[in-house]
A and B are shown apart, each in its own frame.
Chain A
Amino acid sequence: MIRLNRSRIVILTLVVVTILLGWFGRDLGKTLDARWLTKFPSAWVIPFKSYISSAMTWLIEDAALGPVSFTDVTRAIAWLIEQPYNLVLTLLADGFVRGQGNEAQVILPAISWIVVIAAVIALGQYCRDWALAALVGACFIYLAVFGQWDSAMVTLASVLIAVPIGAGGGLMTGIIAYRHPTFERIISPILDLMQTIPIFAYLVPILFMFGFGPISALVATMIYATPPMVRITTLALKAVDPEILDFGRMAGTTQRQLMWRVLVPSASHSLMVGVNQVIMLTLNMVIIASMIGAGGLGFDVLAALRRLDIGAGFEAGIAIVVLAIAIDRLSQSFAERMGQVHHEIPGTWITRHRRTVLVLVLLVLTWVLGQFSPLLLEYPENQTITTGAFWDDTVKYLNVNYFDTFEAIKVFFLTWFMIPIKTVLLGIPWPWAIAMLTLLGWHAGGWRLALLCGGMASLILVSGLWSKAMVTVYLCGASVILATLIGVPLGVLAALNKRAGAVINLLIDTLQTLPSFVYLIPVVMLFRVGDFTALIAIVLYALAPAVRYAAHGVRSVSGELIEAGLVSGCTPTQLLRHIRLPMALPEILLGINQTIMLALSMLVITALVGTRDLGQEVYIALTKADTGRGLVAGLSIAFIAIIADRLINAGARQARIRFGLEN
């Protein structure tokens, strides 16, 4: 039973008109002899590209404050980051070496694999219990046994540097934003851009500023991974109970004490969520970082796939997942432990720090005895195992036996799902599209949002990227629809069934940390190069938030409402349809929002399998070292992301108001 009031009729009509216009847009343009309707004339394009390029050239080559040039400053920063990085890298991977090249002599080898494993086990036991210790121990043993140790330590070194700087910097920025609302308003859009502009777009200027090598990779990683920390800090501080704040003031704290002794500790739980995000995003960047000299596991993945060694690529990819799981679980339980009160154990320093002592003793022992038995320093190469052949054979088996089935599925999706969406989106005349977007913004969030939507869409238009932007919207839109159709039911299932929940959780954790490049190449083998392959890759990567938020939303429906439903005699299905799903809708919408963000961030990766969208534009710009072109395309992606984000947030807010969750 749908009530048809006037506004609904208007909305429905507009939607139908838009679709019809899209379907017949091209023919319309031809018959009216107005091709500019669907194809923005290149004469009207404003050359933002060259403006940005020349600004960048000036910044890198000429900008100076007195005798100190801009690049001197960035190089100094790079040097500062490099020192701790080199130290950690030396300890974990290289060892202390005297002399260079041929005369090199190892003075002190890198920390032995035995010690590192013992240390993480001890840390796991210290943070929670033996179960955690066993888990992280197993993770690190995997790295040794599967021959990934050396690369994993290089990756670990960069994580150990990037995460503290990213999290610490994010915390500080967040605190300033909390104290000064004006600052918050200024950095908020900057954070949006940092999160949504693909890294490839600003890689070239970063290389010039910070030099070629791991440090640039670290800087790029931090730019991408810090924003969630800033946001969460500000949110968490705002959410601290005002009574605690008042109590702190009454106790006569200075402002500094109030912040560090009262506010930050009370918010520590939420802050750790931010740290966790920084860790995950840092590990996400491992592949891209390895393209500009970070080495490590990311490089192994790239090199393996370059020689089509799917098995080796897969193993290195799983090593990244394993590393992510270990660091994530450790950091979470460490945060929990920090939040608890502990009783001092009486006794000497040694009895109180038994684990530390044990690890230190092991360290010295392996260093001394390692002179006689290399086994103590490095995991023996002939003891490693590999499952590489298994993966290669699996893909080959699927390819040889089921290719026709895959082909049929692909053709079905292309003809009935993807191509229609593409035709419509590319056919909508741009004046109409921008008008509709502005109207939608006005409807969802008033004139401010209308202005934002219209303005950003127009900027994309005048940079001459309209049709590539439409291909982007089509590819992301189609993937998000599929991801939602798969993800939301999975999330609901995870919320209602504990055992299914555990399996689903593990699955999406893996999908999110496994570098997409690992499965991209097998997917190409089974589905060939093209949009459908890109679609699969995007759906796999962007599925996670749809599942997580749906599960969270369904779980947090209040017990009283469920009770009320049960009392009035709802069947489980009715309970789901009339109570759980509607109440979880705002959360589900936020999940879709995140899905869109992830889908957009995958675009640059899917350009590697030959899509023709903004991601490709960014990738081409990178390979031609064209800063302006890359940034303009990157900004266009960011604009699409911001428009989608604002519209959906406004929609979620309206939904919450409708259900009385917010007023």
Chain B
Amino acid sequence: MMNLKLGLSALGFTVATSAAWAVESTDPIKLTLHDWSGQLINTKIMGSILQEAGYNVEYLQADYIAQFAGLKTGDLHLAMEIWETTGREALDEATASGNVVNVGETGLMAIEEWWYPSYMKDRCPGLPNWEALKDCAEEFATAETAPNGRYVGGPVTWGGFDEERVEALELEFEVVHAGTDAALFAELESAYQRKDSIVLWVYVPHWAPAKYDGEFVEFPPFSAECYSEPSVGVNPDLAYDCGKPRGPIWKAAWSGLQEKWPGAYDIIEAYNINNDEMSAMVGKADLDGVDIDTVVADWMETNKDRWSGWISK
């Protein structure tokens, strides 16, 4: 059986080489898949374009952070969504090793901020202005946090400086960290079902703002100085008295990719997509239950000119 398989793969190799006239190597380019739809769509669009250009691709399921181990050793080749906001540290560490390169922005912009469902506006008039939170912290309180309001933050590993923000802006809130993304949105789903009070960490592109009606709190706009200099901002004595930074979502690749598949590297570099398209596609997949492959195929169909341009570059 083993021999049969080896024989078959050898045969397959000869066939593939004769057919692939344009590409540098027929070895599959390995793209990583994570467990959220936006990333799946993003990666599969990239994969489809590479396939159109004649490359072979292979999708591998991988953990968001654990994948860097694979990218460094060349077991994995391309990760399509490294968020400035949550993955920067790991990305910097990986690029510093020389084995991973940052291929540039995907065009998607990550927004992360405090977010509340629309019905909270009736209970806390003045929202989305952050100063409204000062007066109605008690609206957001639970038995455990009363009289302080309860703010559900992301996993501690996401950072975000929410404790510091609460203190600097003198908000009477307690920060409770959800351990994972899933737990975070389970809280939202639960509260939304009961029309209960909640304010929590939401980020886009994500399906949540499409499914639930609500908006971001408007904090004083972010600036680098606001984070580093206590004197800048609303509170003269403390730093972090502003909103969170917004950041691009990066593409990261194994450093050997450019050498092995230079053409593919150029396509990857050219690849660009925006928040609105992505949100629409994520909504289609997660809320209307459309198969991800169908969503990707639709995009490929309607954007033929765009991606052909990236290939011919």
Residues of chain A touching chain B, judged by Cβ–Cβ distance below 8 Å, are 83, 86-87, 90, 96-103, 107, 203-204, 207-208, 211-213, 290-295, 299, 302-303, 305-308, 396, 399-400, 403, 407, 411, 414, 520-522, 524-526, 528-530, 606-611, 616, 619-620, 622-625
Contacts and interface: CB of A to CB of B under 8 A. Distances in A.
B110 interface: no
B259 interface: no
Contact of A98 (B8, B68, B144): B8
Nearest to A627: B69
Given A203-B66, A400-B193, A625-B90, A97 B12 contact: yes
Interface in B293-311: none
Given A212-B76, A292-B66, A521-B183, A625 B93 contact: yes
A609 B61 contact: no
Interface in B74-110: 75-76, 89-90, 93
A622 B65 contact: yes
B15 to A, nearest CB: 5
Interface string B175-211: 0111111111111011001101000000000010000
Contact of A101 (B55, B142, B180): B55
Contacts of A607: 179
B8 A525 contact: no
Contacts of A102: 51, 54, 56
A98 B28 contact: no
B215 to A, nearest CB: 20
A608 B179 contact: yes
A610 B62 contact: no
A608 B180 contact: yes
A608 B70 contact: no
Contacts of B66: 203-204, 207, 212, 291-292, 622, 625
A207 B72 CA distance: 10
A107 B7 CA distance: 12
Interface stretch (B126-134, B151-159, B161-169, B220-228): B151-159
Q: Ordered nearest first, which 4 A-B pairs have the shortest CB separation?
A: A212-B70, A101-B56, A207-B69, A212-B75
Contact of A307 (B8, B180, B196, B207): B207
Contacts of B290: none
A491 B23 CA distance: 65
A405 to B, nearest CB: 13
Given A99-B15, A100-B16, A608-B183, A87 B68 contact: no
Contacts of A526: 190
B119 interface: no
B5 interface: yes
Interface residues of B, number: 64
Nearest to B27: A100
A293 B15 contact: no
B8 A107 contact: yes
B273 interface: no
A589 B189 CA distance: 41
B63 interface: yes
A411 B146 CA distance: 13
Given A610-B176, A610-B177, A623-B65, A98 B183 contact: no
A308 B62 contact: no
Given A292-B66, A307-B286, A529-B178, A213 B187 contact: no
A400 B65 contact: no
Contacts of B275: none
B179 A611 contact: yes
A513 to B, nearest CB: 21
A626 to B, nearest CB: 10
A525 B89 contact: no
A211 B73 contact: yes
Contact of A100 (B26, B179, B182, B194): B26
